[in-house]
Amino acid sequence: MQLISVVIPTWNRSVDVQSAVHSALRQSHRDLEVIVVVDGPQPATERALRNIADPRLRVITTPESVGLAEARNVGARSARGEWIAFLDDDDLWLRDKLEKQLRAASKFKGSHTLIVTQYLERTSTMERVWPETLPRDTCRFSEYIFCRRGMLLPSTYLASRALMLRVPFTKGLRHLEDTDWLLRAADDPLTKIGSVAEPLTIYNNVSTTGRESCDAPWRVFYVWGIANRRLFTDRAFSHYITRTIVPRAKEARASWRELFHLLSAALLLGSFNLEATLFFFASSIFARESKRKIRELLSPAARRARERAKDA
C-alpha cells in the first residue's frame, strides 16, 4: 500500500479538530499518517489531541502563529508519504475518500499529480453537492474557477508530495491561499489533474471561530489579482473582478467611482464581454439574495441547481 500523509492545520478549534482527525484515521485506506499542525501554542488544542491514542497521529506545534498557508507547508515538509491529503479542521471525510482518490491517481503518469473530488456543502439553510463540474486538465484553469464556478475545496485535495514541494502555498498570504495555490499549480507544466465525481468530503460552511474569508477587504482581492494577472486568461480576469470583487466592494459600501474603477480594470486588463458587464451591474445594484432570485428567474440551470440543493 502507498503511505498517505494527511495534513490538518488547526487554530483554536480544539473540539472540531478531534472530529477531523477521527474522520482521517477511520479511512478505509489504513496506510496513513495524520499530521496536525497547531498554528502557534494552544494548550487546549494540544491537550485534546493527546487524548487520541493512535500511533499514526503526529502533532506539530509552531513556535508562533504562521498562518494557514505556511501551516500547510509545515505539514507537507514533514510528510513521509508519497501522497499528501489536506483536511481543514472543521471539515470531515467519507470513509472511502482516500481509497477512491488513489485509484484515480493510478491512471496518471508523472510525479506531479493532483486529484480532487466533489464535496457536500452544508450551510445553516441548505445542503448541496459542489462543484457541479470537475476539471479535466489544467488548460485555461482560471476560466474553470471563475467562469465555470469551479470552487474546489482544499479538503478534497490529494496531491503528490513532489507537487507540494515544488509548488508550496504562498507564505504570509491570507484569504486567497487556496485560489493562489490552484492557479500556480495549474500553471506549472508538470502538473496533472484528475478527479473523482463523488462528494467525498463534508464542507461545514457555517460561521465558526477563525474563518476570515467572509470579512476580507475587497481591496486585498484586487491587489492580489493585479499582482497575479499572468495566471488569468482575459475572460477569467474580467469575471474575477466582476463576480468576486465587485460584490464585496458593494457590500463594503464602495463609492460609484471605486466600482467603475473596478469595471474599467475588468474591461481593460481583461476582456470586454457582455456576461461580465452584466455581472458588474447586477452586483452594483442588487443585494446578493436579490441576484440569486433574478438568476433563478432567468436561468433554468440555476433553478435546477437550487432544487438539487433543497433535495440534497
Q: Is the pTM of this model over 0.85?
A: yes
Q: Where does the chain hold its CATH 3.90.550.10 domain(s)?
A: 4-204
Shortest CA distance to 25 belongs to which of 13, 42, 47, 8? 8
If you ran DSSP here, which 8-state letter would residue 205 be given? -
Q: How far is CA 129 from the centre of its chain?
A: 15
For 199, residues 6+ apart whose C-beta sits below 8 A from its C-beta are: 94, 117, 118, 119, 120, 129
Tell me how far CA of residue 143 lies from CA of 42, 137, 150, 284, in angstroms: 40, 12, 9, 22
* Closest listed residue to residue 208, CA positions, set 124, 277, 290: 124
Residue 126 has what pLDDT? 80
Residue 6 has what pLDDT? 98
Q: What is the pLDDT of residue 175?
A: 87
Mean pLDDT by runs of 10 across the 312 residues of the chain is 93 96 98 98 96 97 97 98 97 98 93 97 88 95 95 97 98 94 98 97 74 70 97 96 92 91 93 81 68 53 54 50
CATH of domain 4-204: 3.90.550.10
Angle of helix 274-285 relative to helix 256-265, nearest 10 degrees?
A: 160
Note the pLDDT of residue 298. 47
DSSP 260-303: HHHHHHIIIII---HHHHHHHHHHHHS-HHHHHHHHHHH-HHHH
Residues 6+ apart with CB under 8 A from 127: 120, 121, 309, 312
Cell of 37: 499542525
